[in-house]
Amino acid sequence: MNTNLVGLLYEGFSIQTLESLNEEQLRLLYEKVKKIETKEEESKITKVYNLGNIEDKNKFIDATKNVTDKNKITFDPTKDTASVSEKEIKEKAVSKKQRGLMGAAYSVEKGEKDLEDIPKSYRKKVEKVVDSMSKKQVKDFASTKDKGLPEKKESKENVKKLEENIMSIIKDYLPPMTTKKDLLSAIKNYKR
């Protein structure tokens, strides 16, 4: 079975809609859905440890326990240092509302605000974020730029309802022999 098809079904698309798409269209739709959903960036970080310092040496040993690719560990015997390269994922907020929640949580994490300073309606959510996420994760979400973000993320139920409405309109107002090309042309030429 096509993994893109399975992924889109999991995201809430109906089988009727997906069956009408070819392999390339399924792949593109799946990529767009996953890109929107994850909103993360990957970067490489390298931490250097001074092996002459017992604390740094212990941190280095701890850091190497989680490394699966031994090529990411390097030693410099001339300076008595070692380094570990890792991928760092920077997560981004998917809506202005989520970014605002993370901003409030980050201000609590930094000690700029107390939980009592947060509005009651937000307080439990902020407390949950502070308890369940690292300071860096919260900072990543909070530092997302508002430009281009929706006010709030659409729920899967809303997307499914919209999809059903579109399919209903297509069935009711377009002749049964309408091709995808004709449909896309009609949408493109539609003027409000």
pLDDT digits (tens, 9 = 90+) for 21-42: 888 888 778 777 765 554 555 5
Check if the beta carbon of residue 123 is closer than 8 Å to that of residue 162: no
Provide the pLDDT for residue 162: 78
Q: What is the reported pTM?
A: 0.41
Provide the pLDDT for residue 154: 66
Domain match, 76 and 60 both: yes
Q: Which helix (H) or strand (E) holds 184?
A: helix 180-189
**DSSP notation for 149-174:** --SSPPPHHHHHHHHHHHHHHHHHHS
The closest of 36, 29, 39 to 7, measured between CA atoms, is 29
* Full residue range of the structural domain in which residue 2 is found: 1-38
pLDDT digits (tens, 9 = 90+) for 140-178: 888 888 777 777 776 667 777 877 877 777 777 777 777
Distances (CA, A) of 133 to 6, 46, 47, 122, 181: 30, 22, 22, 16, 47
Domain boundary among 142, 162, 183: 142
- Structurally, the chain folds into a number of domains equal to 3
Q: What is the mean pLDDT of the chain?
A: 77
Give a yes or no: residue 150 inside a domain. Answer: no
Domain match, 49 and 85 both: yes
Provide the pLDDT for residue 42: 55
Give a yes or no: residue 159 inside a domain. Answer: no
Domain boundary among 101, 127, 142: 142
Using the predicted structure, report yes or no on whether residue 128 has a pLDDT greater than 70.
yes
Distances (CA, A) of 105 to 99, 129, 130: 10, 7, 6
Name the residue with higher pLDDT: 181 or 117.
117
Give a yes or no: residue 155 inside a domain. Answer: no
Provide the pLDDT for residue 191: 62
